[in-house]
Amino acid sequence: MKLVWILCNESIAEEVRAVLDETPVNGYTVWQNVLGVSPREAHWGDAVWPGKNWAFMAVDEEERTGRLIGLLKELKGEDHVRRAGLKVFVQEVQETL
């Protein structure tokens, strides 16, 4: 089993959600209005550091998450997505309860 974390700028969140919806993963969790700092910029949702992020989490069998990761790599290849910001992290799931 794999856990896929997807962090993105709110401006591309609907595109990321569309990718998740077209994959065979068995559901996902979404957090909106996520604040954060990267080496390039901060998103605090205020006048000084505008913008917010979304976080998505999906857990499923490797065959299903593999398709998701492939589609996210394609999405990340688009200029507007790279400018907006998209990070994907994949972890091994040892156990689910």
CA distance 58 to 2: 8
* pLDDT on residue 31: 98
Average pLDDT, stretch 64-88? 96
What is the average pLDDT score of the chain?
93
Higher-confidence position of 55 and 46: 55
Q: Are the C-beta atoms of 2 and 72 separated by less than 8 Å?
A: no
Instruction: Report, as an integer, the average pLDDT of 70-91.
Output: 96
CB 75 within 8 A of CB 21: no
**Assigned CATH topology for domain 2-53+62-87:** Alpha-Beta Plaits (3.30.70)
Lowest mean pLDDT among 37-41, 48-52, 92-96: 37-41
Asked if 68 and 6 touch (Cβ cutoff 8 Å), the reply is no
pLDDT at res. 57 = 98
Cα(5)–Cα(47) distance, rounded to whole angstroms?
A: 28
